């Protein structure tokens, strides 16, 4: 006789208490505990992440303006929208320092986006 997992449908031996494929408890009424493993970043890793995110955010958010100034017939100002993704991702962090830099990058992105669109339609 076999036990069928309610989560993934895998057929397990009758002697198993947990699914061999996904680890879900096969005993009725018992929930499988959920564990969240959070590894804190050291200061060097955090600094590197912040520096890299500034470089990427500024390159994307201000890229439309730079391209417009270099190539007068280009209308690629929409690239600035991609500069908003990383700051919003950083705002989700539980680390206060990363979140602070997320707000700063968000302001930089919005300014770059506004200037890119202004340049696209006025220059």
Beta-carbon contacts of 51 under 8 Å, excluding residues fewer than 6 positions away, are none
Contact 18, 24 (CB under 8 A): yes
Q: What is the pLDDT of residue 13?
A: 87
Domain chopping of the chain, boundaries: 1-35, 43-122
Read off the DSSP letter of residue 95: -
Whether the predicted model's global pTM rises above the 0.75 cut: no
21-72: pLDDT as tens digits: 888 888 776 665 677 777 788 889 999 999 999 999 999 888 877 877 777 7
Handedness of CA 56, 116, 89, 101 (dihedral sign): positive
- Average pLDDT of the chain, as a whole number: 84
Region class of 29: left (phi > 0), else alpha (psi between -120 and 50), else beta: left
User: Is residue 4 helix, strand or coil?
Assistant: strand
């Amino acid at each position: 006789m076999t036990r069928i997992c309610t989560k993934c449908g895998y057929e397990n031996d009758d002697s198993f208490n947990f699914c061999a494929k996904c680890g879900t408890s096969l005993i009725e009424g018992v929930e499988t505990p959920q564990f969240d493993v959070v590894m804190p970043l050291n200061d060097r890793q955090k600094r590197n992440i912040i520096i890299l995110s500034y470089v990427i955010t500024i390159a994307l958010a201000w890229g439309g303006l730079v391209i417009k100034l270099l190539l007068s017939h280009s209308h690629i100002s929409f690239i600035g929208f991609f500069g908003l993704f990383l700051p919003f991702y950083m705002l989700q962090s539980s680390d206060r320092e990363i979140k602070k830099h997320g707000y700063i990058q968000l302001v930089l992105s919005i300014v770059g986006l506004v200037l890119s669109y202004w340049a696209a339609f006025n220059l």
